[in-house]
Amino acid sequence: MQQQIALHSNGRVRVSAAPKSRFQTTNPKVFAGGDMVRGSDLVVTAVFEGREAAQGILQHLGVRATAQH
């Protein structure tokens, strides 16, 4: 069964803001951030959201994150 990814009326991807599933789409196996979610913005915002999405992925997989240096 294929699971769709919900979009906002402006075509951007809907993601969760919940701490446990940050940046997770309506398809639980897909995470998104940056321009896909908010549209054109600063590169630093996309990088930040990519890191936040990575944390959400680790939590989803049950992997404990290590401290960043």
Q: Which of 44, 39, 8 is nearest to 26 (CA)?
A: 8
- What are the Cα distances from residue 68, in Å, to 13, 51, 55, 62? 28, 11, 12, 18
Q: Within the chain, what is the greatest distance between any pair of CA atoms?
A: 41
The C-alpha atoms of residue 69 and residue 62 are separated, in whole angstroms, by: 22
Tens digits of pLDDT across the chain (69 residues): 678 999 999 999 999 988 788 899 999 999 998 899 988 889 999 999 999 899 889 988 888 767 665
- What are the Cα distances from residue 69, in Å, to 10, 27, 35, 47? 37, 31, 26, 16
Specify the pLDDT at position 12.
95
Specify the pLDDT at position 5.
95
pTM score, whole prediction = 0.76
Specify the pLDDT at position 8.
95
